[in-house]
Chains A and B, each alone.
Chain A
Amino acid sequence: MPVLENRPGKDLDEELIKRFKAGSDIEASQDIGALEEEEIQRLKQTGVDLDAANRLGTFIQTNCNVASCHCDIEGVEMLPVTEALKKYDGLKEYWWRILDPDKDAFTKETQRHLDNGYFIRSKPGEKVVYPLQTCLYIRNDNVAQKVHNIVVAEEGSELHIITGCTTHPHLTSGLHIGVSEFYVKKGAKLVFTMVHNWAEDVYVRPRTAIVVEEGGTFLSNYISLKGVKSVQAFPTCTLKGRNAIARFNSVIVAPEGSDIDTGSRIILDAPETRAEIISRTISYGGRVIARGHLIGKARQIKAHLECQGLMLTEEGIIHAIPELEAHVADVDMSHEAAVGRIAKEEIEYLMARGLDEEEATSTIVRGFLNVKIDGLPKELDEELQKAVEECRKGM
């Protein structure tokens, strides 16, 4: 069993930050030169397609610089967050409103030394059919990227954002801190799909909070298929208006050497709200902590949590931590968690149809990782197939 790093404490967090240099310390020519073909391919594998016709807007931040920011439709505003702060008088309604800058070393660091980030707002009633894409790209070795994003889906609007976070194809080390505050207003819908595609020695610290108002819907998809040194993320979503809905879906693969501590918390703070957390994790040597915390604070809420873990090797750890917390009697909350190897029964079922053992295993792993999210480029699908093969080889 490889020695995996313990969850860093406060001092270790600060030390970790010090190990990396700021994006602004990199020579500008290296930082924002045109992307090469292999980089464009890498972005595609991360869900970001620069050639696609079906993207309504694109935001790319390379290290600390905004390399691209444009949006084709009038009903949606997309700006580098530093510009939005100037334009909207510090974004007082949204800036550090649902996250506390003093939460930990990473939020503090982002508040003090912000690189940039994106501001996206869909205007009231605007229903966007195609997704917008954002990309947080670390292009140089040993850089710490610190972003703060604000997304506002105004009343009755609909918005789908695909965000790809990745590193240069030849880079191994970096730190990504992403602070995100999302506001889903009355009757609005926000679909947020995040794809992580990091390298072996990259540390990732997203800090995310979401508020959903009456009748609003927040759907989150998270996909991480590649090796990464350490991810620690625990987005918290508060359903504060009647009939609000939140759903978190995640698919995580942890190869040897990866340490991924992730999950989500949903606070059902208004009557008749609904929440669902579904996570599917695979370990073939790495450690995954799959958390889920549902807090029922109002009457007639419905919440369900599902953690499924597949251990493909004797090595590795999957630690599922499902939590249900009810504060009133009239709630309907449930969870199921199952961790283990692929059931022999399932493999034999497929073998009885003529598949050999390897084909049967791949079919089951592929099914387990099956994510069908509209608008993702085919390159990401191919990555998924590759991940299935890697998993099988890792067995």
Chain B
Amino acid sequence: MLHIEDLWVDVHGKEVLKGINIDIGKGETHCLFGKNGSGKTTLLMTIMGFEGYKVKHGKIMFKGEDITYMPLNERAKMGLGLSFQRPPTLRGVKLRDMLNLCSSSPGAGIELAIQYGFEKFLDREVNLGFSGGEIKKSELLQLMAQNPDLTLLDEPESGVDIENLNVIGDMIRTLLEKDRHRNRTKSGLIITHTGFILNYVTADKGHVMLDGRLRCEGNPIDIFEGIQKHGYEECAKCQF
């Protein structure tokens, strides 16, 4: 599904990613751990294709196609989707309109909003005055409407209260077809700080990013426990 080879990326003239290699197969979910500022979000933004993330070297292959320099919206159309950590507010644009714009089939987004008890937000302006949890729900609804093949999630659990974690977890499971045990086609790459999402979503692999490099790869739960016990620095020393 996704193959990244020796990817070097600059942001505002500063080298942030320093030779990333990663492979995410069809139906696989990977987790990305790492300190603040280590480059996790930069990796997601670069995969999605945001301006300002300058690829200096290396390539990104998606579904066998080189998308390294492909415009953002074309990547979205190919089946890449991203949940923003802090999305902007769109004044005057209702969530209803936004969901319709995202929907791969007409009305899909609205139905989902109703299904997840979010219909009272349909006529609110996108993200205006939304709480942390509401922003996440709104992002995930948009993604579900969009129905991407590779979902990029940037800290989906941050700012979400305990009560809503179940719902968020459930939405992510649906997005990644976690209830399908054979022939799963949806893949995911999830940034997580708290590891909380691992209680809801089984991940196939974990990676630790330190200073723009992926330093280890392995069972996500083992890695997360290692980080909890010894911190990221120790994690960097350990070689699997």
Does A244 make an interface contact (CB < 8 A)? no
B92 touches A368 (CB 8 A): yes
A369 to B90 alpha-carbon distance, docked (Å): 12
A353 touches B125 (CB 8 A): no
- Chain A residues with CB under 8 Å of B88's CB are 343, 345-346, 349
Contacts known (A348-B72, A353-B102, A354-B146); A367 close to B91, Cβ less than 8 A = yes
Closest Cβ of chain B to A352, distance in Å, is 5
B92 touches A353 (CB 8 A): no
A349 touches B90 (CB 8 A): yes
A363 touches B72 (CB 8 A): no
B51 touches A355 (CB 8 A): no
Q: Give the contact stretch, choosing among B76-84, B169-177, B197-205.
A: B76-84
Residue count of chain B within 8 Å CB distance of chain A: 24
Does B97 make an interface contact (CB < 8 A)? yes
Does A356 make an interface contact (CB < 8 A)? yes
A351 touches B91 (CB 8 A): no
Does B29 make an interface contact (CB < 8 A)? no
Closest Cβ of chain B to A258, distance in Å, is 22
Query: Chain A, interface size: which category?
Result: 20 to 34
Does A364 make an interface contact (CB < 8 A)? yes
B91 touches A355 (CB 8 A): no
Does A13 make an interface contact (CB < 8 A)? no
Closest Cβ of chain B to A6, distance in Å, is 33
Does B192 make an interface contact (CB < 8 A)? no
Does B106 make an interface contact (CB < 8 A)? no
A346 to B89 alpha-carbon distance, docked (Å): 8
- Chain A residues with CB under 8 Å of B90's CB are 346, 349-350, 363-364, 367
Taken residue by residue from 366 to 395, chain A's Cβ proximity to chain B (1 for < 8 Å, 0 otherwise) reads as 111110000000000000000000000000
- Chain A residues with CB under 8 Å of B125's CB are 367
B72 touches A367 (CB 8 A): no
A354 touches B91 (CB 8 A): no
Known: A349-B90, A353-B146, A368-B91. 5 other contacts (CB 8 A): A354-B146, A360-B73, A363-B93, A364-B93, A367-B97
Interface residues, chain B, with chain A CB atoms under 8 Å away: 48, 50-51, 71-73, 76-77, 81-82, 84, 87-88, 90-93, 97-98, 101-102, 125, 142, 146
20 contacts between A and B (CB under 8 A): A308-B91, A348-B50, A349-B88, A349-B90, A350-B101, A352-B81, A352-B82, A352-B84, A353-B76, A353-B146, A354-B76, A354-B77, A354-B146, A355-B101, A364-B90, A367-B91, A367-B93, A367-B97, A367-B125, A368-B91
